[in-house]
Amino acid sequence: MPSILETSVMQMMQKGKGLLAADESNRSVPKRLDPIGVESTPENRRRFRELYLSAPGAEEYLSGVILYDETLRQADSDGTPFAKVLSDRGIVPGIKVDAGAKDIAAFPGETLTEGLDGLADRLTEYYDLGARFAKWRAVIHIGKELPTQEMIDANSLQLALYALRCQEANIVPMVEPEVVLKGKHTIEKAEDITTATLTSLIEHLQKYRVDLKTTVVKTSMVVPGSASGQPMNPEQVAEATARCLRATIPDEAGGVVFLSGGQSSEEATMNLNAIAKLGPYPWNVTFTFARALQYPAIEIWAGKDENIKKAREAFMERLKANAAASIGAL
C-alpha cells in the first residue's frame, strides 16, 4: 500500500493537471488587489481566494493548490474550510512555509531564505489543518558576478533541511530554487545558472537523505533575462529547459513543476507546451502558476460578487489551456 507521501505525490502529479500557486503573503496580496481598487482586508483576501478555490469544475484541471497560512485557516462563504473545499474534490491542499528571502550583507545582491525555526511544530499543525504538501522558495539572482556558488549552496542546504522536516511530518516537500527572470542575462547564461542551481539542490537533498521519490521540484523555465533584448522563443526555451532538467533531475524524483516567474500568461502557457512536446521525461512535468492563471479573472471580478461567474469562466479558460499545455496538446 502506498504511503501517505506517495499517495499525495501521485495525486499532485496527475497527467493533464497542474497546480495553482495561491500563496501570496498578506504583504504581497495588495499587488493583486490594489490595481482593481479592492482594499487588502482579511475578508477581501478571503473573497479573492474563494474566487479560485471554489470555482466549479476546477478539479478537472487542478491537482493541487499552494495556500498561505491565513488562507489555510479560512473558509468559503458556506463556512467550509478551504482545505476541505479542495480535498473533497480531489485537489491536494498545500502550504507555503518559508519566512521569505532575506538580504545577506556579506553577499550583496543575494538572499538566503529563512523559516527553519519552529518548522517541525508548524508542519504538525498544518497537517492537522489539512495540508499535504508544502513549498519553500529560494531566490537566485543573475548578475555580473551573481550568483555565487556559496549562496547557491547555502539555499540548497536550507531547502534540504526543510524537505527533511516535511517528510517527517508526512507532508510532501516542494523545493523551489527560483532563478529570477529580471536581468540582462542571455538564455545561455540562464541555462548555466539553472543547471548549477539544480545540481546543488539535488546534491544537498541526497546528502541529507531526503526521499526524492516523494519530493517535487519546482523550477524556473530557462528563459532570457527580461532586459536582455532576446526574444522569448518557445522552442529555444523548451530545448534549454529540457537539457537542464535531464542533466540534473534524477529519474526517481516525484515530479517537476514550473513557476511562471514574471512571464505573461501566454508566454508561460506556450513555453510549457513546447517543453512538454520534448517529452516523455522520467517524471511528469506540469505547471504551478500564480499570476499566469489569475489574470484576467481578477480584473473581471474587480471585487464585485456580480462578476464572479464571468471571472471564473476566464479562470477556467486559463486552467484548461495550461492543462492541455502540460501534455503538449496545444
Residues acting as catalytic residues: 176, 218
The crossing angle, in degrees rounded to 10, of helices 149-168 and 119-128 is 50
Rounded to a whole number of angstroms, the distance between the first and last alpha carbons of the chain is 36
Q: Compute the distance between CA of residue 328 and CA of residue 330 in angstroms, rounded to an integer.
A: 6
Q: Compute the distance between CA of residue 188 and CA of residue 186 in angstroms, rounded to an integer.
A: 5
Q: Look at residues 261, 247, 238, 166 and name the one whose alpha carbon lies nearest to residue 202.
A: 247
Element (H, E) at 64: strand 62-67
Task: Determine the 3-state secondary structure of 274 from DSSP.
Answer: helix
Amino acid occupying residue 141: H
Phi, psi of 219 (to 5 degrees): -135, 160
Instruction: Report the b/e string of 270-288 with b at 16+ CB within 10 A.
Output: bbbbbbbbbeebebbbbbb
Q: What would the grid cell of residue 99 be?
A: 519566512
Q: What would the grid cell of residue 285 be?
A: 512535468
Amino acid occupying residue 205: L
Sequence-distant (6+) residues with CB within 8 A of 329 are 273
Q: Compute the distance between CA of residue 96 and CA of residue 131 in angstroms, rounded to an integer.
A: 10
What is the chain's percent helix, strand, coil content, to nearest 5?
45, 15, 40
